[in-house]
Amino acid sequence: MPPLIQIKNLYFSYGEHLVLEDINLEIKAGDFLAILGPNGSGKSTLLKLILGLLQPDQGEIYLFGKPLPKFDKWWLLGYVPQRATARVDPVFPVTVEEVVGFGLLARKRFPRFLNSQDRQAIRKALSLVEMESFHRRRLCELSGGQQQRVFIARAIVSEPQVLLLDEPTTGVDVATQEKFYDLLGEFNQKGLTIVIVTHDIGIVNKHVKQVACLNRRLVYHGTHEEFCSSPRLKEFVGEHHLVIHRH
């Protein structure tokens, strides 16, 4: 099958600062890809380019076989941005149900109202992340781990084929991280393609199938097993990133 996401000869700069150089990458259906790299290596920028939030200086991006400028089925991609939980306004009275409902608006034309079918989809998404009983609660009343699950529900409510996550566990305790990544692993086993940007592969380790290392250029792209056995790549990311949790 053709790749769901294909990146060809991609370059991107912020002003005169070159961030990404000659990136070529394919993401196929069923992949669980971890994108690793030091701070400033272009990881988050690459996700934003895939999502059309930034425009490349050179190169091409294809989504589901279509050039990105012609792609219009954005509900096929779910996105959890960096520090999503940190952006929660403690006094804004939005409910869990309302937050998840925002994920359905991309498929709707104006006026954008949610119907009974949408409500069912919201309940289903919340059920998948074990948050259905919280649907009436205000988002600001939830813990960081619970909010994280709500943002996942928002990202999957439109039943996307690809889920992109940018450092989703920053500031969350290790036990919550493990539960979170186990949930992603379950989604991947059911057929959801997952791309996750992270600086530490230790906890997500047992679920990853593919690894891509960025440091402006694509230093490595291959299987998780090859990655863990490469001395050169251990030097690149550091020993502490490679704690094995596969069991």
73-127 pLDDT tens trace: 988 999 988 755 555 665 678 899 999 998 887 676 666 677 888 889 999 999 9
Report residue 161's pLDDT band, with 50, 70 and 90 as the boundaries.
Answer: very high
Sheet containing 210-215: which strands, arranged edge to edge?
77-80, 162-166, 193-197, 32-36, 210-215, 217-223
Cβ–Cβ under 8 Å, residues 138 and 53: no
CA distance 12 to 95: 38
Extract the tokens encoding 233: 């790549």
Instruction: Tell me the average pLDDT of the chain.
Output: 84
Higher pLDDT, 199 or 77: 77
Cβ-defined contacts of 224-228 (< 8 Å, 24+) = 224/34
Distance between CA 199 and CA 7 in Å, rounded? 21
Distances (CA, A) of 82 to 29, 31, 139, 238, 240: 23, 21, 17, 23, 22
Question: If you average pLDDT over residues 220-232, what whole number do you get?
Answer: 77
Residue 245 has a pLDDT of 45
Cα–Cα distance, 208 to 35 (Å, whole number): 10
45 or 140: which leads in pLDDT? 45
Q: Strand 5-14 to strand 58-63: parallel, antiparallel, or no bridges (unpaired)?
A: antiparallel
Specify the pTM: 0.83
Domains of the chain as residue ranges with CATH:
5-242 (3.40.50.300)
Residue 239 clears pLDDT 80, i.e. is over it: no
Angle CA 95–97–102, to nearest 5: 100
Tell me the two tokens of residue 59. 């190169």
In the chain, pLDDT over 90 holds for what percent of residues? 43
First to last CA, the chain: 30
Residue 30 has pLDDT above 90, yes or no: yes
- Residue 105 is predicted with a pLDDT of 78
- Is residue 4 over pLDDT 90? yes
